[in-house]
Amino acid sequence: MNPAPSALPQTNAYAMQYGAVLGFWGIVSLCVMGMSLTTPALSSLSTLLFWGAPVCAGWLTVRFRRQVATAEEGFTFGRAFLFNFVQSIYAALLIALFVFVYLKWWDGGYIWNAYIKVFTIPENRQLLEQSGLLDQAGGTVDRFVEALQRIPSAQYAGMVLYMTLLSSPLFSAVIALITRRRPQPQPQR
């Protein structure tokens, strides 16, 4: 009889695999969001993909639970939380790598030109003026976008990781509460 694999390495291995799936979901979400800046019809899909990420993470947790949990062990809150948290870190690493590579070598100015178009819409320009951001960046939309463009790609990638570290514990706890299962002791024969 083979001993059961240790829970931590097994959880980490599944989290890495499923984190890649969640990371690709995030990359697709970012791409659609970027395209929605110039094609407003995509904004609803972008929003759906963004808010669908926690649902996808929950679905991946249920898949993990089905593959590793037994009726006798159950699926504890701690294991579900750990899986979700580590899964989100792996996903964030993949997304951050994409953001860095995209902004550093692949973008060619598309995203910045799209922001200029978006911020020159009168309603959006008014919101920028009311927030005071336009004045801080030099008073024009072009200068505001230039200020955004001067931020290094690594800092944008770092923001992905930072936001994940801040939000992931909450999402992981909620998903863990939903997906946990109590042990079901088997009757003695």
pLDDT digits over 64-82, tens only? 999 888 777 778 899 999 9
pTM of the predicted protein model:
0.83
d(CA 115, CA 36): 11
Give the range among 23-37, 41-55, 120-134, 159-173 with minimum mean pLDDT.
120-134
Q: Mapping DSSP to helix (H, G, I), strand (E, B) and coil, where does residue 37 land?
A: coil
Q: Mapping DSSP to helix (H, G, I), strand (E, B) and coil, where does residue 71 land?
A: coil
Q: Is the pLDDT of residue 138 over 80?
A: no
d(CA 51, CA 156): 21
Residue whose structure tokens are 């989290």: 15
Integer angstrom CA distances of residue 82 from 12, 16, 66, 69: 9, 12, 16, 14
The fraction of the chain above a pLDDT of 70, given in percent, is: 94
pLDDT computed for residue 64 by the predictor: 93
Tokens, residue 116: 């200029």
Q: Is the pLDDT of residue 173 over 60?
A: yes
Which string of b and e fits 110-134 if b means at least 16 CB within 10 Å? ebeebbeebbeeeeebeebeeeeeb
